[in-house]
Structure 1
Amino acid sequence: MSTTGAERPATPRTEVPPTGEPRVRPRFLLGYAFAYFGALAATLAPAILTLQLKVAQLTASAPEIALSLVLGVGALASIVANPVFGRLSDRTTSRWGMRRPWLVGGMLVALVGLLVVAVAPSVAVMTAGWVVAQLGFAANLAVLIALLADHVPVHQRGSVSGLLGFAQAVATVVGIALAMALSSSNVAMFLVPALLMLAGTVVLALLLPDRRLAPADRPPVDLGELLRSYRLSPRRFPDFSWALLSRFALWMSISLVLGYQLFFLRARLGLDEAAASQMVFFGVLAQTATIAVSAFVTGRLSDRWGRRRIFVAVAAAVFSIGLLVLAFVTTVPFYLVAMVVLGFGQGTYVAVDLALITDVLPDKEFDAARDMGLVNVSSALTHTLAPAIAPLFLAIGGGTRNYTALFVAGAVWSMIAAIAAMRVRSAL
């Protein structure tokens, strides 16, 4: 951490690079986006689809409970590992650089974990494999988002963050499409999307102008130092803390929606399972297309206008509006309208949120990957908390299907995200 708690004063940002500050090279940007796309394709395909298919093969009784166990233990591993791997990356003095060993090593560990999941003969072995995979993903992704602070100048962070948001949207569709097409083979449906991660990581590792830390400049690394990876002082670093709260709240809102669309369409609109599954695909497709467009456009506008927090706050408010529409939907067309609104809010948020967080990092020199690991934790934690609290809202009124209450709760989380973003004072 920095030795001072003072926040940096707000400075205007512009798409035109300041004197002496060049743009990041397009070749590196393409490799960066490709690696991010591959990592998320490998991560999201299991989280959204293939783990469910595998669990259904292993147990016919209470597959939801088995899936919750796998996801919950894996999320816990990710939460614990992200800041630690980030801290270790910040302290690495390898001749291959600070980030490259963790980038490549994380990818290899993730592939091993996914292979174990694919061939697992039981839920216990599958859970162990998913934990290994999550550890690999944690190392890889902690480094990937730290590169935004390492190599992207302030005047380009909105555009690059938008490019990463675009890559994330495309990765969701491509990863699920590959998994669906290869669902007849467990190994293929888990490992083929992961090959995109392998390819992207190798390309980025070759292109990366990695930082090298001299042993004499390395801060001490011991158990106490690693335990401090989880420590954050809101008093010393209020802006970074508010930015983390905003991200956590927005992803709580997203997590409350994503896991229940199929059940919602069946209960609210009366669709059968086949029709509801098809409509979920159309809804995700509409949302993803909007995310891709809005992320690309608004990230660039954020750089051009020199503004971050207003984009993030408005995006969270728009997401809240989309959830309120969804809460009272009674027809398919309005469901699709709600998904488009949600896509616009989410796309704008992911495009600028990472840029805002990077601008207010407490210490970009020695703790960038650690702090960005905390960013990953803020969103990963929601995957455990959201399923735990959702039944409380669904049960309001004495039933189990009060989706209006659930989505209104999600809208409240989105507004918390908007308010928290506006509390970030040292970024415009």
Structure 2
Amino acid sequence: LPFVLLTRDPVEPGGVRGPAVRPRDFWVSPRLHPDFGWAWLTRFLVQLGNAIGTLYLLYFLKDAVRYPDPEMGVLYLTLLYTGGVVVTAVAGGVVSDRLGKRKMMVGVSSTVMAAGSLLLTFRHTWPAAMVAAVVLGLGYGIYVAVDQALITQVLPAAVDRAKDLGVINIANSAPQVLGPALAAPIVAYAGGYAGLYLASTVVTVVGGVLVWRIRSVG
């Protein structure tokens, strides 16, 4: 709100309109802009791993942990997760700026998140769920700060920044839809909740590894 109220937009010349927007204008060629393509893919995979690991918590607590009040359990875990994000979001960004390292920090954050989901692969207990929530939050806090900075460094052209960030936002929102859709068959047919959190671990690690394919960012 302070930003909206106190920041003035530059005044555009009156009567000047850009060309009509066409659907093909939203396409960003990964062949012409490979770093942008890799950044989009890594964001999608890490967010998908996070979605798989968090969106089924209610059922995990109810069916596997057998927590007596799973709804309140989700609230407690959400608070722990959020606390972890708050602790590392700013600190992770500061460390990345001072080191000048983006890819390394994204790799570290992905590894931390993978460790949290890997814990739930083997331990279906309430204490393990609390530890995993904190670990996932700590890793995700670093990730959201550093990966956002990384993405701003691989945008193809200044004139299309808003549109390109909108394309990146698809990598944020699509996993929230796909996560539950993928989780259901995994739980039912591919190893139950152990299989679910193993899948979350693998997807997150792959996302963290592929960030090294980005060449223009340190």
Q: Name the TM-score class by shorter chain.
A: over 0.9
User: Following the alignment from structure 1 to structure 2, what is the Cα–Cα distance between the partners of residues 205 and 245?
Assistant: 31
1:184-223 deviation per Cα after TM superposition (whole angstroms, max 9, x unaligned):
xxxxxxxxxxxxxxxx2xx3222223234446986x422x
- Looking at structure 2, the residues matched to 394 and 215 of structure 1 have their Cα atoms a distance apart, in angstroms, of 57
| Inter-partner Cα distance in structure 2 for 1:282 and 1:334 | 13
Number of residue pairs matched?
218
Larger RCO, structures 1/2 (Cα 8 Å, 6+ apart): 2
Q: Secondary structure at the match of 1:333?
A: helix
Q: Which residue of 2 aligns with 1:411?
A: 201
Q: Which residue of 2 aligns with 1:372?
A: 165
Taking structure 1 as reference, are residues 302 and 211 closer, same or farther at Cα in structure 2, changes over 3 Å only? farther
Distance in 2 between the 1:420 and 1:213 partners?
40
Residue type of the partner of 2:174?
L
Contact 2:55 / 2:179 at 8 angstroms: preserved in 1?
no
- Residue number among 293, 299, 303 corresponding to 2:97 in the alignment: 303
- Report if aligned partners of 1:316, 1:414 keep a CA contact under 8 Å in 2: yes
* Structure 1 residues 359 and 213, CA gap change in structure 2 (3 angstroms): farther
Give the structure 2 partner of residue 208 of structure 1.
Answer: 7
**1:309 offset after TM fit, Å?**
1.1
Structure-2 residue corresponding to 1:339: 133
Correspondence 1:9-408 to 2 at 5 A = 200=1, 203-214=2-13, 220-222=18-20, 225-272=21-68, 275-364=69-158, 366-396=159-189, 402-408=192-198
In the aligned structure 1, how far is the partner of 2:47 from the partner of 2:211?
Answer: 14
Q: How far apart are the structure 2 equivalents of 1:279 and 1:426?
A: 43
Q: Which runs of 4+ in 1 moved over 4 A?
A: 215-218
Cα offset, 1:226, TM superposition: 2.6
- State the alpha-carbon separation in 2 of the partners of residues 330 and 257 from structure 1: 13
Q: Which amino acid aligns with 1:417?
A: G
Q: Are the counterparts in 2 of residues 245 and 417 from structure 1 also a CA contact under 8 Å? A: yes
Distance 2:97 2:209 in 1: 22
Aligned to 1:46: none
CA contact (8 A) 1:396 1:405 kept: no
Larger Rg: 1
Distance 2:147 2:169 in 1: 12
Q: Which runs of 5+ in 2 are unaligned?
A: none
- 1:343 to partner: Cα distance: 0.8
**RMSD of aligned Cα (Å):** 1.8
Instruction: Return the TM-score normalized by structure 1.
Output: 0.49
Label 1:417 to 1:215 Cα distance change in 2 as closer, same or farther (>3 A): farther
Report the counterpart of residue 421 of structure 1 in structure 2: 211
The DSSP-based 3-state class of the residue aligned with 1:367 is helix
TM-score (norm 2): 0.93
Partners in 1 of 2:124 and 2:54 — Cα distance?
A: 18
Structure 1 runs not aligned, ≥5 long: 1-199
